[in-house]
Amino acid sequence: MPISTAVAIDPPSLERLGLRPAGGPQNRERAERAAAARSLMYLFVVGALVAAAALASPVADHISTSRIGITGGCSALIALLLFAGYDRLPAWTLSVFLLCGSMLIEWSIYSASDPTSPFLLFYVWVAFYAFYFLSRFQAALQAAFIGVAYGAVLALSNEPFRTQIVRWVVFTVALVVAGLLVRVMRERIDALLGSLNSVSRTDLLTGLLDDRGFEEILEKELERGRRSGNRVAIALARIDGDGRLRERVDDRRADELLSEIGGEIGGTVRLNDEGARIDDEHFAIVCPYTDEQGGVVMAERIASLVRERYGDSDAPQTLSFGVASYPKHGSGSDALMHAVRQALDEARMLGGDRAVTFFSSESSIEERLRGADVSLEVLTSESRSS
């Protein structure tokens, strides 16, 4: 059942203004979108303040006060729209708002009747923002638009044509070079962050292992199991519901749910176990020295905690688990992951809120019956009450 977007989970004003850190878990995409919207909002706020200062300055008599007033008013309006939309704005709207900013700058330069007006420096803001936050193609479009717009202002001036050409070339080259330098620095920072991320094995949203950490610990435990003959259980979990989680709830609520459920998993597993978030919606647990029946008991314990935590909410949340074990259901990580995914799919097909053990075709009738008994005893709250 979809969760309605309540006002309570909207980012507070201090967070939108950047005066307080985000009050909940954030994925990188949402944090990037929020930073881009906030930065652009402040550019328009400063633009509105500069327009107000220009109107109040002694030189106001030499410029069109009505035009500058319109520029300041439009800047303030766009800043309010960015404040209201914040991280919920589609990415393309930021490019549109930035184009609007370029047009307002051109309008200010035209209003000042001077192609060398100090308002020209505002284009540095636009270039820095475009080459830092937007894609290369979008940044190139912004630069091209600025070049065309400034060329139009120069064409309307009374300066000699050769002077216009020199001004346009110097301005355009300087602006593009400045933007490219910002882009190079941004890509360098991204590369460094990527290197750090490749070393890290922790999912920032939940504090559990990430997919790389999970793969490493799984291979390590399987190798230990091969040497010692110990069993290793694997459980794969997903939040129940039709479709993807982020299609049912907004990104902020999805991050909160994933973080909370990750906390339940991390707080429930044994010291020897390792929990992980291996993709946007799947959690996995490696349980050394445990067979599939022990994995089912652990999975049901976590499912019960999640069921109780969200049972009284407007939109209850439950977990489905698939469980398999080494060496019974596979000798390698690929075979075991295939087994738990099949078991998880079966659990979801049966209605969710349960754990299902994978049964291979090689399993004996006795093992299947024993596994079925475990499923009937511990997997679902419905079976316990029947």
Alpha carbon dihedral 14, 16, 11, 267, in 10-degree steps, equals -80
Q: Cα–Cα distances in Å, from 65 out to 44, 50, 203, 350?
A: 19, 13, 54, 70
pLDDT on residue 371: 46
pLDDT digits (tens, 9 = 90+) for 88-111: 888 889 999 999 999 999 888 887
CA–CA separation, 224 and 126 (whole Å): 57
Question: Residue 374: pLDDT above 50?
Answer: no
CA 96 and chain centroid, separation: 22
What kind and span of H or E run contains 48? helix 28-56
CA–CA separation, 135 and 146 (whole Å): 17
pLDDT band for position 69 (cuts 50, 70, 90): confident
CA–CA separation, 302 and 236 (whole Å): 12
Specify whether the CB–CB gap between 189 and 183 falls below 8 A. Answer: no
pLDDT digits (tens, 9 = 90+) for 280-337: 889 999 999 999 999 999 999 999 999 998 877 777 889 999 999 999 999 999 999 9
Place of tokens 């459980």: 235
CA 316 and chain centroid, separation: 24
pLDDT digits (tens, 9 = 90+) for 176-202: 999 999 999 999 998 887 777 666 788
What are the φ/ψ torsions at residue 23 (nearest 5 degrees)?
Answer: -85, 15
Q: Cα–Cα distances in Å, from 150 out to 70, 75, 153, 157, 170?
A: 19, 19, 5, 11, 12
Domain residue extents for the chain: 7-199, 211-385
Tell me the pTM: 0.55
pLDDT on residue 231: 95
pLDDT band for position 71 (cuts 50, 70, 90): confident
Place of tokens 């941004």: 186
Question: Residue 8: pLDDT above 70?
Answer: no
pLDDT digits (tens, 9 = 90+) for 333-347: 999 999 999 999 999
pLDDT on residue 266: 92
Superfamily of domain 211-385: Reverse transcriptase/Diguanylate cyclase domain (3.30.70.270)
Question: How buried is residue 193: exposed, middle or buried, by Cβ count under 10 Å (0-12/13-18/19+)?
Answer: exposed
CA–CA separation, 9 and 195 (whole Å): 33
